[in-house]
Amino acid sequence: MTEKLLEIKDLSVIYKTDEETVYAVNDLNLTLNKGETLGLVGETGAGKTTTALSIMRLLPDRTGRITRGCITLGDLDITRASEADMRLIRGNGISMVFQDPMTSLNPILTVGEQIAEVLQLHRLDMSPEQKEKRVDEILEMVGLPADRKHEYPHQFSGGMKQRVVIAIALACEPQLILADEPTTALDVTIQAQILKLMKELKQRLNTAMLFITHDLGVVAQICDRVAIMYAGEIIEIGTTDNIFEGKKHHPYTVGLFGSIPDMTKATRRLNPIEGLMPDPTAPLGGCKFHPRCPQCMEICKTAKPLNIIDGTHAIGCHLFAGGAGHDARINLESTGGAE
Amino acid sequence: MSVPLIETKGLKKYFKTPKGDLHAVDDVNLKIEKGKTLGVVGESGCGKSTLGRTILRLVEPTAGEVLYNGKNILDYGKKQMLEVRKDLQIIFQDPYSSLNPRLTVSEIIAEPIKVCRTITDKAALDDKVYELMETVGLAERLVNSYPHELDGGRRQRIGVARALALGPQFIVCDEPVSALDVSIQAQILNLMMDLQDDRGLTYMFITHDLSVVKHISQEIVVMYLGQCVERASSEELFRKPLHPYTQALLDAVPVPNLRHKQQLTGIIKGEITSPINPKPGCRFAARCPKVTASCTKEDIQLREIAGGHYVACALY
Amino acid sequence: MTEQQRKKTAYKKKSQLMSIWHRFKKNKLALFGLVVFAIMLFIAIFADFIVDYERDAISQHMTKRFMSPSAEHIFGTDGFGRDMFARIIFGARISIFVGVVTIALALAVGAVIGASAGYYGGYIDETLMRIMDVFLAIPQMILAIAIVAALGTGMVNILIALTVAQVPKFARIVRASILTVKTQDFIEAAKACGTSDSRIIARHIIPNAIGPIVVQATLNVATTILVIAALSFVGLGIQPPTPEWGSMMADAKSQMRYHEYLIIIPGLFIAFTVMALNLMGDGLRDALDPRLKN
């Protein structure tokens, strides 16, 4: 039985400075069930990290602001919770794994101390001995020998540091982990190790995870569901099967897949998406993708497309409105060939 | 067989560190034919960037030879080197730090020409800059923009235009698309392949991304801790990887396809060891799943196993 | 050719100076600092047109001693009957002149030392920077006093003393800026085209390293003005009867309880000038970074 854990409704986030307003996230809707891993895929500036920071309520104080919508975790409305409540949730209910393990650990504390610190904050009932035991346990769980807890971050390699970061995130057994590009800074062989670890852990602990990445390959490995983001909106969402195997796709998704050099095929030219992401400071009418879309129609320039839902699969594109009326022959296989 | 455009023989670069010599590039032999692309793959710290810079003499090698059209450029004096620099260029990974923030787009592109005085006439120089901008797909309205006003993809195009300014034969591309988003990455890769087709350029394409390297190269060198562990044609290497490290590397790449979902079983343990004063024997031995006693006895040379397929492994 | 001219006019180059100015004027405090400093500079340069040096600032008028500020003498007169306004104006000349010249000299010497240390590295770097460390270990004021004491007072000696005290700071800043710029890829790109060392330094390194140096120079003009005033106050700086803000305060210290304006007015001028320079320095720091958007 699937049970809703996180729900984001009509979320809009802006960054406002003296000079300009950046519309980072626009009317974003998302649900995440217990124990599920949702991949949030998109390019730089798509609003992935902003979404994660909104869930943690860690948007930069002076500039970032949630203008609309709500985020609920269980029964709690995060957008309206007090700062004190949020402090209890961070690290306990929701924890975050950042991209760069080099900078997300404090260099002057031993890794054991850093794990114990989270317990200190959220597990007031634990005795010091219990905490020590928990630190050992959690280190073993992420594949590090417990006796290395007295060492400092610089004594660990990049992959091991990321294991420590994951250990800290898991210390209080949160319901939800926000992983922001956790393997991007790592080498491929290390990335494979970390992905394997995360996969095992989420099965063992039944933790839900929002996995932010730009790498569709990583998504295929670890995610149950996938949401594709473009210019602050989710333009397509579905199960991994829907996204990777389905026949119907948003033209942006098609472009994204076409851009990746495929190791299993021999093609000379790639099929990139022409053009650039729209300027986030000047909101664009209609579909955000229309200036780059090879199948752009008149309606796309003016009307914002609705989500066309087909079972577990939703696409925000006018091409699929009104069922079979349009020639929607965009499937993955046909884009692999030459132009 | 004609003389390869670029060839290295026993190329070595050791950096002195307080703990001993860091073997960044250790006895690398490679050949690049004119008009072809050699891919150099490896993880961070394997010496691939140092290799590229050593070939261009941006870093002076400790030992070995770099032959350009059959002549060792390491013997060249200052004057000869200046002449040959026009033919050998480089494109960098980071489109942020590779462009001088105080110069405009046109100034950046014109800089190599001004330095080498290949065009001295002011008007002709301007024409050349516009021509180069058009070649790499930069709109002419950007001539007087500063790099910080542009996005990563456009900046990388400036980097490409600068490398092309002197009409080079050979370009070392040091992770030119790693810092870019996939859709932009594809644009730049297409541009580089078009340029190769039009101008007969020769590339040495350094990257950690196996899917990119397969896409763009005819031949691939796999590096581990400063050494070349396997060298083969692109097709052969992906079809039949021989070195356990190459196999592990290929297994580790996440493929965006559910049917190729890896089992996450063939993952190698451990992480890259220190390149400072490495022990004799195969440098991958500590992580190798197929390690035997003979692996650590002595250094293992790169040997030709099949036609054009070289591997440095005791198993073969 | 016409095609080219069309392009030239269509995409006119934005001057770096203009965009620096554009960013600078957004910072109102910095702008205020600039205005105040400009006024001081104006006064210092055109002092001769405002008042007569010999008559108003130097000659003593025993009949007009200790006159409080009035319409005739807006800042009053001092213990020798000299017009305070005139002395302040000529004092500005000394303070600002010494401050600016000292920093210019210190910057020139420091830049050469710092640039050689930073660009060439190795033994050159070690030797030069250790010498600078020795100087840095001595407090600036003590060093200046020691030099003046050894060489004797006088304008040239004061300039030397202050410059020597400032050189190590600039050497360090220049070296640090160069080290950060040196590792950037565009330097390597320049080398790959065979660019000469001198052109790399002039075209690629200095323009990118200059920001923090200019900022530091502005801020150090302010501290130097304070040091001159302090030196004069203890009697080692500018000698009477030459008007200088610090020595004016020193002269007035015995009268502090009866004619407080004598000490307050030069004090305020020192404070305002120093503040103006500090505000300007902060504004420049932001304005000089090209990565910050317009």
A220 and B261 within 8 Å at the Cβ level: the answer is yes
User: What is the rounded CA–CA span in Å between residue C48 and residue C42?
Assistant: 11
Tokens of B203: 């590339």
Shared domain check, B290 and B159: no
How many helical (H) and strand (E) elements, i.e. helices and strands, does chain A have? Answer: 11, 12
Considering B167, B183, B212, which residue would you say is the last residue of a domain?
Answer: B167
pLDDT of residue C7: 62
Task: Give the tens place of pLDDT for each residue, C192-237.
Answer: 988 888 889 888 988 888 888 888 888 888 888 888 888 888 888 8
Averaged pLDDT for residues C10-32: 79
pLDDT of residue C22: 82
Could you read off the pLDDT of A197-254 as tens digits, one per residue? 888 888 888 899 999 998 888 998 889 999 999 989 999 999 999 999 888 899 999 9
Q: How far apart, in Å, are the Cα atoms of A117 and each of A91, A98, A231, B36?
A: 10, 18, 37, 55
pLDDT (tens digit, 9 = 90+) per residue, A185-196? Answer: 888 888 888 888
- Tell me how far apart the alpha carbons of residues A97 and C251 are, in angstroms, rounded to a whole number: 66
Mutate: best of A100, A198, A226, A270, partner B, most B CBs <10 A:
A270
Residue B110 within any structural domain of the chain:
yes
- Indicate the residue of B183, B193, B216 with minimum beta-carbon distance to A256: B183
Least Cα distance to C214 among C177, C180, C186, C184 occurs for C177
pLDDT one-digit tens code per residue, A31-68: 999 889 999 998 888 889 999 999 999 888 888 889 98
If asked whether residues B33 and B173 sit together in one domain, one would say yes
| Cβ atoms A140, A171 nearer than 8 A | no
Percent helix, percent strand, percent coil in chain B, to nearest 5: 35, 25, 40
Nearest to A259 among B152, B185, B251 (CB): B185
Helix intervals (H) in C138-243: 140-151, 155-182, 185-192, 197-199, 206-233
Kindly list the domain boundaries of chain A, sorted by start residue.
104-166, 249-335
Rounded Cα–Cα distance for residues A192 and A215 (Å): 13
Q: Do B211 and A221 touch (CB under 8 A)?
A: no
Residue B93 located in a structural domain: no
Residue A71 DSSP SS3: strand
Query: Is C193 close to B81, i.e. CB distance below 8 A?
Result: no
> Which residue bears the tokens 């309205």?
B141
Residue C291 and residue B102: Cβ atoms within 8 Å? Answer: no
* Collapsed DSSP state (helix, strand, coil) of residue B23: strand
- Domain CATH number, residue C248: 1.10.3720.10
**Where do the DSSP E strands lie in A34-85?**
37-41, 64-73, 76-77
Which of C7, C184, C291 is facing B148, going by the closest CB pair? C291
What is the distance, to the nearest Å, from the Cα of residue B130 to the centroid of all Cα atoms in its chain? 28
State whether B267 and B177 are in the same domain: yes
Q: Answer whether residue B111 is part of any domain.
A: yes
Please indicate, yes or no, whether residues B223 and B207 belong to a single structural domain of this protein: yes
SS3 (DSSP) at A64: strand
State phi, psi for A28 to the nearest 5 degrees: -95, 130
CA distances from residue A183 to A48, A95, B225, C54, C184 in whole angstroms, order as listed: 15, 16, 22, 77, 26
Per-residue burial over A3-12, b if 16 or more Cβ lie within 10 Å, else e, is eebbbbeebb
Same-domain pairing of B124 and B159? yes
Q: Of A142, A204, A205, A209, which is closest to residue A180 (Cα–Cα)?
A: A209
DSSP secondary structure string, B189-233? Answer: HHHHHHHHHHH--EEEEEES-HHHHHHH-SEEEEEETTEEEEEEE
pLDDT score of B173: 94
Residue located via tokens 């390699």? A157
Q: Residue B65 has which token pair?
A: 């030879």
Closest-CA distance of chain C to residue B88, Å? 8
Q: What percent of chain B has pLDDT over 70?
A: 97
Rama region for C53: left / alpha / beta (φ>0; ψ in -120 to 50; rest): alpha
Q: From the list B82, B94, B130, which residue is nearest C194 (CB)?
A: B82
Residue B316 CA to residue C265 CA, distance in Å, equals 90
Separation of alpha carbons B313 and B294, rounded Å? 10
pLDDT at position A176: 92
Give the pLDDT confidence score for residue C226 in this predicted structure. Answer: 85
Instruction: Kindly report whether the global pTM for this prediction surpasses the value 0.80.
Output: yes
Residues of chain B with pLDDT under 70: 1, 260-266
Q: How would you list the strands of the sheet with A37-41, edge to edge?
A: A94-97, A176-180, A208-213, A37-41, A225-230, A233-239, A313-316, A307-310
The one-letter code for the residue type at B56 is: L
For an interface test with B, give the residue of C13, C22, C177, C185 to mutate (most B CBs within 10 A). C185
Which chain B residue is nearest to residue A156, measuring alpha carbons? B271
Total domains present in chain C: 1
Domain that holds residue B182: 6-87+168-311
Cβ pair B58:C188 closer than 8 A: yes
ipTM: 0.84
Instruction: Please report, for the domain that includes residue B260, its CATH number.
Output: 3.40.50.300
Question: Which pLDDT tens digit goes with each residue over A69-99?
Answer: 999 988 888 888 888 888 888 888 899 998 8
List pLDDT tens digits, range B125-170.
999 999 999 999 898 888 888 888 888 889 999 999 999 999 999 9
Spatial separation of the C-alpha atoms in residues B44 and B27, rounded to whole Å: 18
Q: Which residue has the higher pLDDT, A18 or B30?
A: B30
Length of chain C: 294
Which of C129, C135, C131, C132 shows the shortest CA–CA distance to C147? C135
| Residue B11, beta-bridge partner list | B28
Co-location of B180 and B158 in the same domain = no
Quote the domain boundaries for residue C102.
21-49+69-287
Residue B72 and residue B28 share a domain: yes
Domain count, chain B: 2
Structural domain includes residue C13: no
